Amino acid sequence: MYLVVGLGNPDKKYLNTFHNMGFLCVDKLAQKLGATFSKGECKSVTAHTIVNGQKVIIAKPVTYMNLSGEALVELVNKYKIEKGNLVVVYDDIDIPMGALRIRKEGSAGTHNGMRNIVKLLGTENFVRFRVGIKKETPMALVDFVLSQITADDHAILDDVLQNAADGIAEFVNGTDIDVVMQHHNIKK
């Protein structure tokens, strides 16, 4: 069984913001896998599907970004998800816009949602797909990550989000994460 959690903020006003890369990516993943977000559980909206004989749960926490760990831990405990079968997708201000960094483990870095997840989960040993959003801007960080994505930025981000969704689909289909990393990491 796999759990894929996209990080974001649930209100409609945040739908098209940089901080919602995780939500945007898992929307693409659900569409690719033919799953529909239709179930409310564990402080999340989830979509369930079967891939290569394995159940895959795709989740969007409704706890807001900084408390994402509350929803994730509830889902991990409910479905008894092994840490090697947990994937978290999120925006990363520390890597260039359009880059994708896939890792098997690692620190939370500067991302408050990931800090909450690592703290509550008690481990850094899970797969993460980091979607780069860094660009030069005069805005404060909090204002930038909650700002609306422009059409020009969408042109860059749509490709990386699709690439991330394709990589996650391969992983939940049984492809080794090292192979997924080789095929889908994008450096800018």
How do residues 64-110 score in pLDDT, each as one tens digit? 999 999 999 999 999 999 999 999 999 999 999 999 999 999 888 88
Using one digit for the tens of pLDDT, what is the confidence trace for 127-174?
999 999 999 888 888 899 999 999 999 999 999 999 999 999 999 999
Among 19, 48, 154, 183, the active-site one is 19
- Burial classification of residue 77, based on how many CB atoms lie within 10 Å of its CB (0-12 exposed, 13-18 middle, 19 or more buried): exposed
Identity of the residue numbered 79: Y
Per the model's pLDDT, the better-predicted residue between 30 and 136 turns out to be: 30
The single residue listed with the structure tokens 């994402």 is 68
Catalytic residue status for 19: yes
Could you tell me the two tokens for 81?
A: 């998800």
Kindly state the average pLDDT of the residues 107-123: 92
Q: How far apart are CA 134 and CA 142, in angstroms?
A: 13
- Residue pair 61/71 in contact (Cβ under 8 Å)? The answer is yes
Total-model pTM: 0.96
Check whether 188 has a pLDDT greater than 80.
no
Sheet with strand 127-134: strands edge to edge: 39-41, 44-51, 54-61, 2-6, 86-96, 127-134, 100-103
- What is the CB-side half-sphere exposure of residue 61 using CA atoms within 13 A? 31
Token pair of 20 as six digits? 């919602």
Residue 110 pLDDT: 82
Residue 151 is predicted with a pLDDT of 95
**Bridge partners of 57?**
3, 48
- Residue 94: Cβ within 10 Å count: 12
Which residue type sits at 181?
Answer: M
pLDDT at 109: 84
Domains, the chain, with CATH or none:
2-184 (3.40.50.1470)
- pLDDT confidence of 186, banded at 50, 70, 90? confident
